[in-house]
Structure 1
Amino acid sequence: MSEITKKSDQQKVAEAEVESFRKELGPFVVAAETTRMAMVFTDATKPDNPIIFANDSFLALTGYDREEVLGKSFNFLMPHGDDAEVLTRIKAEFGGSSSSGTEVLYRRKDGSEFWTALFVSPVRDDGGDIVQYFASFVDLTKHKEDEAQLKMLIDELNHRVKNTLSAVQSIVWQTLRTPSDPKAIREAIESRLFALSRSHDLLTREKWESAGLLDIVHDALEPFGVSGGRADRIAVTGENIRFPPQSALALGIAFNELATNAVKYGALSNAAGSILIEWTKKTTPAGQQLLLNWKEKDGPPVTPPAHKGFGSRVIERGLAHEPGGTIYLDYRPDGLVCTMDIPLPGGTRDG
């Protein structure tokens, strides 16, 4: 007998069993056919519980045609049929020792996988013997995707909170290292935390994916530009190159430090000074770099500080660590110049 003939005979037997099954259970089969829950019945008198009935919802869920399902082993949808742990749980479900169903990963006809909650109940004859099993499937795929997404969000939130607390700790510790009176310390800490908060707000608007450099600069300088009519004394030119969150936070804090210094001692401390912030991209053997210049002019005469304060340490060390650039502060007599040579992240785009 050929393989094709054998399959044809098996299909006829399965179809005959289904027809007999329909006649025996009548209205219940009609109800099972029309319900939106995926359902099958299996023959409990044969090995592997072959399927003798499958409703339309089960076929829609799995992508199979009815003739492809009837007669198949109940476990034919398992992507790994030899998974002993899963087979044990399914066996327990058929044996009635599971009280709340079991979660199983199955595979559709097209190869895609989906999660279901499997519930199995016995069907007994008049003598109390189990002749069939009634199995229902609740599609958990969306639930599992949402669960994975929620875990990812929690992990990301945990990562951000740790980074933020680390930044706050650094701000407070570095500020306290510089001798000063309590009022000056409080104002310095408040200013830096406010800058960190503004950077967080910017990234939140951007769904924490990235932030454009123009937006980072404008957000950091906005408090300094509005106060005292300084907006027309700050010129910013350059493409809105996007940076990942950690780099954006570091840049935002650095620009806040530069602006704070300019208001206290530099170009924004008098009525005539101005600041030019400009940047360009350049290609090097190591990849694309951002060359940024902060140039102050017409402010009070500049003298190099006797020691580095927290602001200069934040700029030099912070940006050297993240995003990993080279920072140089040049205290020229006619105005401070800060040069940043920063590697651009892979896949950088303008936005």
Structure 2
Amino acid sequence: MPVRRGHVAPQNTFLGIIIRKFEGQNKRFVIANARVQNCAIIYCNDAFCEMTGFSRPDIMQKPCTCDFLHGQLTKRHAIAQVAQALLGSEERKVEITYHRKDGSDFLCATHIIPVKNEEGVVMMFILSFDYVLKEGSMDSLDRLNHTSPTRQEQSEAPSIFFFSFNNSLFFHFFISINAIHCQHLF
């Protein structure tokens, strides 16, 4: 008889669904708890760890402002935009220069997505990270294995995901896959 560890709560099921959906799109992302003071990171995927050079234990429970990735080339205006997005409840995309654990820098489009409960209270944030190619930068090209989706792939992609759990916590999460998938093309 298999042994079950932990308990299955609606929020754990919800997190699992988010993780599977983003992993299936080969996204680099973190999930943060908006209900604690520093918006601590509660999950980061392997692709994010590879992008930054930090291990999962290095990242967990750090603030989702990703101040551990800030360096000399990180602009204060971009840092302020990320912080402002985390204070609000609107989706935002910020272009920011981050620094890996080894000190090398990379330009990144950080997509900040609030996840709200049925009362409209932000419960979590999903931060998705995409490389932005600097013109003429071979370093960025070497680190990026990117192929643009074909028009057929874009049209076949589902437009909206909707999650709802009918227990004590209700979560509604809308995300336009086409928008996230194609924003970097324009």
The answer (yes or no) to whether the contact 1:121–1:135 under 8 Å persists in 2 is yes
Equivalent residue, structure 1, for 2:84: 92
Q: Distance in 1 between matches of 2:50 and 2:84?
A: 27
Counterpart mapping for 1:210-221 below 5 A:
none
5+ residue gaps, structure 1? 1-15, 149-351
* Whole-angstrom CA distance in 1 between matches of 2:28 and 2:125: 14
Asked if residue 116 in structure 1 is aligned to residue 108 in structure 2, the reply is yes
Amino acid at match of 2:113: S
Structure 1 residue corresponding to 2:57, chosen from 67, 80, 92: 67
Q: How far off is 1:26 after superposition?
A: 2.9
User: Corresponding residue for 2:121?
Assistant: 129
Alignment of 1:1-351 (within 5 A): 22-74=12-64, 75=66, 76-79=68-71, 84-94=76-86, 95=88, 101-140=93-132, 143-146=133-136
Distance 1:92 1:147, change over 3 A: farther
1: CA distance, partners of 2:21 / 2:61: 21
**Alpha-carbon contact 2:31-2:44 (below 8 Å) kept:** yes
Larger Rg: 1
Does structure 1 retain, via aligned residues, the 8 Å contact 2:90–2:114? no
TM-score by length of 1: 0.33
CA RMSD of aligned residues (A): 3.0
For 2:27, give the aligned amino acid. Answer: M
| Cα distance between partner residues in 2 of 1:56 and 1:50 | 18
Q: Tell me if the contact between 2:29 and 2:48 (Cα under 8 Å) persists in the aligned partners.
A: yes
Contact 1:105 / 1:116 at 8 angstroms: preserved in 2? yes
The answer to whether the 8 A contact 1:93-1:102 is kept is no
Cα separation, 1, equivalents of 2:41 and 2:54: 13
Unaligned runs of 5+ residues in structure 2 are 1-5, 139-186
Seen in structure 2, the aligned counterparts of structure 1 residues 96 and 147 have a Cα distance that, compared at 3 Å, is farther
Report if aligned partners of 2:31, 2:126 keep a CA contact under 8 Å in 1. Answer: yes
Residues 146, 33 of structure 1: alpha-carbon distance in 2 compared, 3 angstrom cutoff: same
How has the CA–CA distance of structure 1 residues 64 and 22 changed in structure 2, closer, same or farther, with 3 Å as cutoff?
A: farther
How far 1:123 sits from its partner (Å)? Answer: 0.7
**Distance change in 2, residues 1:112/1:54 (3 Å):** same
Q: Deviations over 1:160-200 (max 9, x none)?
A: xxxxxxxxxxxxxxxxxxxxxxxxxxxxxxxxxxxxxxxxx
Counterpart contact for 1:106–1:114, Cα < 8 Å = yes
Higher helix share: 1
| Distance verdict in 2 for CA 1:21–1:32, change over 3 Å | farther
- State how many pairs are aligned: 128
Quick one: higher RCO (CA 8 Å, sep 6+), 1 or 2?
2
Residues 34 and 56, structure 1, Cα contact 8 Å, conserved in 2:
no
Q: Percent identity at matched positions?
A: 26
Contact 1:32 1:55 (8 Å CA) reproduced: no
Deviation per CA, 1:38-67: give whole Å up to 9, x if none. 111111112232111111211111112111
